Structure 1
Amino acid sequence: MEFYSERLNYRYFTEQDFELFRSVFSDEKVMKYAWIDKIDKDDDMALFFNDFLNHGNELNSNSSYAFAVFVRENERFAGFADIVINCRNPNGGCGEIGYFLLPEHWGKGYATELSETLVKTGFTRLGLHKMSARCNSKNLKSESVMKKVGMIKEGELRKVRFKNGSWDDEKHYGILIEDWKCDKQ
């Protein structure tokens, strides 16, 4: 499965992408606000990586889709993006987007571009009626991205992320398909 946005290409991770995957999830800067700590051990990384391999070729009834993200201009690996389906029925469903970009790709608008693409994919290709995202409450840049793609704050969970020896709060944002369609007109 491959698709693209204005400046980025997206494709499923393959077994040959282990080192690319490792470059994201072992980077301390990338994982600073993540829901997990950076992964240092090869065995732990391999188990985690295998959970994100897509074994189908198209978007279908899977519960999650993980994508390797590349800059279209030079085909450099930029990071990880995913859509997780939280629930689904014949009338729609709810999905959550997530991403991690390598530091050399920060501050270029890629996070907003890929978030817009993931939201659009959830609505137009997966038939979902709601897309959401969440972030560590200290991650103001990620919160800004959620706002830029039209999501509204739906709540904040207190002390649910354990990072660096303390508990952090988590902000939740979401957008409904009808609001997304209105924004596109």
Structure 2
Amino acid sequence: MNWVGSKVSTQRLSLRPIQDQDLQHIYRGLSDPKVIKHYGVSFSSMEETKEQMDWYRKLIENKTGIWFALELKESNEFIGAVGLNDIKKEHRRGEIGFWLLPEFWGSGYISDAVPKVLEYGFRTLKLHRIEAWVETENEKSRKALTKLGFQYEGTLRDHEFKNGRFISVDILANIVDNFV
């Protein structure tokens, strides 16, 4: 499996493994109230964000995932991140996640990037199943995933406690047989 140095691109985007120099970008995104409203991770300081950077490194070291910085091809501007984590080699499955800086929402960048990550997961990492765990209230992410071939499998009611209340999480999945 090729984990490090993997770079892929679409017509509009470059996807490269997240690096230490992305710290400011990761902090900017994962401290933005709009981004973290439906996201499971948030940071209130650069120090906390450094722990996230360690997590990205450990994913690669342990071969349990890889996250990519999303950059506009024309300008190399950082716009968000997408990746695979929680990879279970023995079960040939993993989990996909993504986020964009708000000024890039609604431009189809997730629809561009996710197929490349699915291709990487299914073809390079030889996964059979890729799951997405989405807060039930996050209709936009659920719709985007459905358009990308993910199928709704169920809802875990009151699965997580966030911001003083229980939230439910939908599970969607894509399997290699459905990937074209």
TM-score in terms of structure 2 length: 0.89
Q: Does 1:78 align with 2:82?
A: no
Tell me, yes or no, if the aligned pair for 2:59 and 2:66 is still in contact at 8 Å.
Answer: no
What's the % identity of the aligned pairs? 26
Q: Which runs of 5+ in 1 are unaligned?
A: none
Runs of 4+ residues over 6 Å off in structure 1? none
Structure 2 counterparts to residues 18-167 of structure 1, below 5 A: 18-36=23-41, 38-53=42-57, 62-89=63-90, 93-167=92-166
Q: Structure 1: which amino acid aligns with 2:15?
A: Y
Q: Which whole-Å CA distance do the structure 2 matches of 1:78 and 1:162 have between them?
A: 28
Q: Does 1:12 align with 2:17?
A: yes
Q: Which whole-Å CA distance do the structure 2 matches of 1:22 and 1:124 have between them?
A: 31
Residues matched between the structures, number: 175
* Structure 1 residues 83-127: Cα deviation after superposition (integer angstroms, max 9, x where no partner): 1143113xx700111001000110011112212221111111111
Deviation at 1:40, TM superposition (A): 0.7
Q: Structure 2: which amino acid aligns with 1:74?
A: S
Deviation at 1:7, TM superposition (A): 1.4
Tell me, yes or no, if the aligned pair for 2:27 and 2:45 is still in contact at 8 Å.
Answer: no
Q: Which whole-Å CA distance do the structure 2 matches of 1:7 and 1:79 have between them?
A: 14
RMSD: 1.9
TM-score in terms of structure 1 length: 0.87
Q: Structure 2: which amino acid aligns with 1:63?
A: T
Q: Structure 1: which amino acid aligns with 2:14?
A: N
